[in-house]
Amino acid sequence: MARSMHVRRPATLASLAAELGVSRTTVSNAYNRPDQLSPELRRRVLDTARRLGYPGPDPVARSLRTRKAGAVGLLLTENLSYAFRDPAAIGFLEGLALACEDAGTGLLLVPANPEREDVASVHRAGVDGFVVYSVPDDDPHLAAVLERPVPTVVCDQPDLGTVDRVGIDDRGAMYELARHLISLGHRRVGVVCMRLARDRNDGFVTPDRQHAAHFHVQRNRLSGLAEAFSEAGVDWSQVPVVERFDHNTASGASGAAQVLDRDPQITALICTSDVLALGAMTEAARRGLRVPHDISVTGFDGIRAGEEVGLTTVRQPVLEKGRAAGKLLLDTNERTRPRSVNLATELLIGKTSAAPRGGAEERWFGP
Amino acid sequence: MARSMHVRRPATLASLAAELGVSRTTVSNAYNRPDQLSPELRRRVLDTARRLGYPGPDPVARSLRTRKAGAVGLLLTENLSYAFRDPAAIGFLEGLALACEDAGTGLLLVPANPEREDVASVHRAGVDGFVVYSVPDDDPHLAAVLERPVPTVVCDQPDLGTVDRVGIDDRGAMYELARHLISLGHRRVGVVCMRLARDRNDGFVTPDRQHAAHFHVQRNRLSGLAEAFSEAGVDWSQVPVVERFDHNTASGASGAAQVLDRDPQITALICTSDVLALGAMTEAARRGLRVPHDISVTGFDGIRAGEEVGLTTVRQPVLEKGRAAGKLLLDTNERTRPRSVNLATELLIGKTSAAPRGGAEERWFGP
DNA sequence: AATTGGTTCTGAACCGTTACGGTCCTTTCA
DNA sequence: TGAAAGGACCGTAACGGTTCAGAACCAATT
């Protein structure tokens, strides 16, 4: 109130030091190393700071000098808001947030609009590292992240060999689920899966597209299915596989409808996520098909809503996955070569899978 | 490969400029203003950058110079991970993320451990503004945010007069809900509410504590109830109000149990959130009480799970709230005086509220 | 009296970039 | 042919801190 009638420019550490007649170092120490100056001086610094409206050291300037941003970036393939719609993504976020919290680090959600090729948001993100969660292999944002000179953990992605990775054995887990259905006697099945690439392709999927899928997770789940059923003598190229771009129950329902329209004889509907499976069950009910008496339905993820209806599925530890990703990233130990972590999954046999009507034996010889 | 055998220090814009024999400005322009230099030179700059492993301008240095962080900070009262458990919070996050996405801005989740008084995370956050979501009035993190010289929007908080605010009319909405119950004939009711302050107090709430509640939202909802029931001739100080620190269905159930143990005669159980209400319904069922025949149960928020069971509640536009907060913060117009936005709510009369057993008339004269 | 040790404070270098206000050279047009 | 316009590039000065090696001072020890 005394010195300057009008604060033309906001106070800085330097101006505060000048006002006090001490060095900038001392002011800095007042905030960061209280033991480096006398209590009286420190108090004087802080008092003057308050009087001048100095809000404390600027975070960005500090980050520049210390080379630490105090935050990790999260890159998602979807619109930022998608993450808050998908139960599995939410679980992942929660785990990651937990790890960040433990480390006192912020979590920066990087806007990565999949529509646009604009990767500026990745370049502008002031972070100490990145977590990349389930983006297509050819996503330009992923490429941009990999060019940044900060540690990175990819999640639900192929092992790049150059950065840490955490995920599950999608292929193995789905293989196991398929074995379960096969042992029940299912041979004529249909599949509803999530998007396989960046382009929208709501419809049947060719074997080519299955192999070339840009989403690691979906590619491997389909591959696990194909392997198991092929071994069981099923010609996988004849199995109806339907893809949906949007991931919600409505997609699950319409996908199931498309499969059932193509082949009403199928005895099991395999979905690559629980959300899709829940939609599929709605569609089955709409058609008067009883689950599992008339048709079996399976999912993947192990979300709460699925649990409540006794969905047969693969439970994956989504929260742990997020936490593991964060731990890996924030682990300050000397980085040797990139680590790769696979978390355990669990086959959950619920009330939505059973032997096909007519019994397993009856179908044992037919295709 | 030619010039330097070993890259001792990572390339910077300056070193790149030196290598090329051009000014730093030119290199900067190559990235930020392509029109400011010839295409050939720009290509040469970018090629050399690639060769030297220069990853492009450092985001933090850029932020320092431009005075823009490209991110907004979100402060939550709870552990970061809490936000991903509560449906209303998730909706808010989604809306906020949407607004950020539109603006191409990042969203930084600031770790604010409510246990510790450590506000360093607020000081360290490199952001262009803050959104504060439902923290107690006396939260030190909130105070720290308000000291930062950046625009701030508070949400579900009292109007501070100094910063923008968005919220709903909690008191009015709850008053209306109370009127609904009163008109049905309910006079003997119980309440289960969320935490009222930073300290854990799982149990009955004195009128004093109700008035002094540090959570604006809870304080106003209770106040709306008290007003309506007092007007209807009910002595509010005698109404059992139970508080729960944790916000989940288990709390709702145990809270309901505590209320019912105290007064088994109540005809309606009013919960200040849907999550609590769902728990309360579980507890009612456990006791063999049919809803709404034996007891009415109401919530607040309008979450999906409540909708599915036909919960009588107040629907509030959580997503819109988040979006509005983001819009307010990112609105670059000249800031005049702080704005205050109230979003509309809607009383949703579902299947969990009905006239008390014995009819309204019978009770019309008694307390 | 000289040395030692500890505390408190300082000076200067550095972090990597962009804003600002030029200069210089070439082209265009009356 | 000279003036004006425009394109391409540059130099300097911040941006707001942190860090580290000392300097200055004082008390205690040798």
Task: Give the model confidence (pLDDT) of B218-267 as tens digits.
Answer: 999 999 999 999 999 999 999 999 999 999 999 999 999 999 999 999 99
In a domain, B8, yes or no: no
- Closest partner residue to B104 (CB to CB) among A71, A121, A147 is A121
Average pLDDT value over all residues in chain B: 92
Q: What integer is the mean pLDDT of B133-144? A: 93
- CATH code where residue B136 lies: 3.40.50.2300
Taking the CA atoms of chain B, what radius of gyration do you get in angstroms?
27
Q: Say whether both A187 and A299 belong to one domain.
A: yes
pLDDT at A334: 67
What's the one-letter identity of residue A265?
A: Q
Q: Say whether both A42 and A91 belong to one domain.
A: no
pLDDT tens-digit map of A232-266: 999 999 999 999 999 999 999 999 999 999 999 99
B84/A100 Cβ within 8 A: no
Distance A164 CA to D15 C1' (A): 35
pLDDT tens-digit map of A47-82: 999 999 999 999 999 999 999 999 999 998 766 667
pLDDT tens-digit map of B269-296: 999 999 999 999 999 999 999 999 999 9
pLDDT tens-digit map of B21-63: 999 999 999 999 988 998 899 999 999 999 999 999 999 999 9
Q: Say whether both B303 and B232 belong to one domain.
A: yes
- Tell me which residue of A13, A36, A9 sits closest to A23, measured CA to CA: A13
Instruction: Scan for tokens 């050399």, then name that residue.
Output: B48
CA–CA separation, A80 and B94 (whole Å): 8
pLDDT at A359: 52
Total tally of structural domains belonging to chain A: 3
Residues of chain A where predicted confidence (pLDDT) is lower than 50: 1-7, 360-367
What is chain B's length?
367
In a domain, B211, yes or no: yes
pLDDT at B80: 65
Distance B213 CA to C10 C1' (A): 50
Percent of chain B with pLDDT over 70: 93
Q: In sequence order, which residues have a C-beta less than 8 Å from that of residue B17 and are 6 or more positions away?
A: B23, B24, B26, B27
B81/A104 Cβ within 8 A: no
Of the given ranges (B77-86, B154-163, B184-193), which has the lowest mean pLDDT?
B77-86
B111/A105 Cβ within 8 A: yes
Distance A198 CA to D19 C1' (A): 48
pLDDT at B181: 98
- Enclosing domain of residue B190: 170-316+347-363
CB B36 within 7 Å, strand C = no
pLDDT at A358: 67
Q: Say whether both B189 and B215 belong to one domain.
A: yes
In a domain, A5, yes or no: no
Q: Say whether both A127 and A210 belong to one domain.
A: no
In a domain, A2, yes or no: no
CA–CA separation, A151 and A145 (whole Å): 9
CA–CA separation, A232 and A359 (whole Å): 17
Question: What percent of the residues of chain A are helix, what percent strand, and what percent coil, each to the nearest 5?
Answer: 45, 15, 40
CB A149 within 7 Å, strand C = no
In a domain, A332, yes or no: yes
- Closest partner residue to A81 (CB to CB) among B73, B85, B98 is B98
pLDDT at B248: 93
In a domain, A37, yes or no: yes
Confidence of residue B342 (pLDDT cuts 50, 70, 90): very high
pLDDT at B337 over 90: no
A97/B148 Cβ within 8 A: no
Confidence of residue B343 (pLDDT cuts 50, 70, 90): very high
Q: Are strands A346-348 and B71-76 parallel, antiparallel or unpaired?
A: unpaired
Q: Say whether both A78 and A161 belong to one domain.
A: yes
Tokens linked to B33: 């203003």
User: Contact, B118 vs B279, CB < 8 A?
Assistant: no
Question: What percent of the residues of chain B are helix, what percent strand, and what percent coil, each to the nearest 5?
Answer: 45, 15, 40
| Residue nearest C9, CA–C1′ metric | A26
pLDDT at B364 over 70: no
pLDDT at A180: 98
Helix (H, G, I), strand (E, B) or coil at A119: coil
In a domain, A42, yes or no: yes
Name the phi and psi angles at A168, rounded to 5. Answer: -130, 175
Q: In sequence order, which residues have a C-beta less than 8 Å from that of residue B279 and are 6 or more positions away?
A: B248, B249, B250, B251, B252, B253, B254, B255, B256
Q: In sequence order, which residues have a C-beta less than 8 Å from that of residue A134 and are 6 or more positions away?
A: A76, A77, A155, A156, A157, A215, A216, A217
Q: Say whether both A149 and A203 belong to one domain.
A: no
